[in-house]
Amino acid sequence: RRLRQLLERPTGRHTLIAQHTLAACYDNGRGVAQDAAEAVRWYRLAANQGLASAQCNLGMCYAKGAGIARDDREAVRWYR
């Protein structure tokens, strides 16, 4: 729980990378139960703060409909 509180605060690049890493863990089920919706939540948090890799991964989630309703327009928006 404490880790989540720390990661939700936009305090710098390391926090963004940690948010993206946690998203990838949920996306792939590494160290946590696989949960596509939770992955989207963490990708979005980092993506909204400008982390390009998170924006790309969030776009892929939209393109595949993984953890969120499939939306090709939204996918393209995040890819750009």
Residue 18's nearest CA partner among 28, 29, 4 is: 4
End-to-end CA distance of the chain: 33
The answer to whether residue 10 scores a pLDDT higher than 60 is no
Q: Where are the alpha helices (DSSP H) in 1-80?
A: 2-8, 13-28, 36-47, 52-64, 72-79
pLDDT score, position 17: 87
CA distances from 23 to 29, 63 (A): 10, 17
According to the model, what pLDDT value does residue 11 have?
60
Return the higher-pLDDT residue of 2 and 23. Answer: 23
pTM, two decimal places: 0.84
Q: How far apart are CA 26 and CA 80, in angstroms?
A: 24
**pLDDT (tens digit, 9 = 90+) per residue, 25-79?**
999 998 889 999 999 999 999 999 999 999 999 999 999 999 999 999 999 999 9
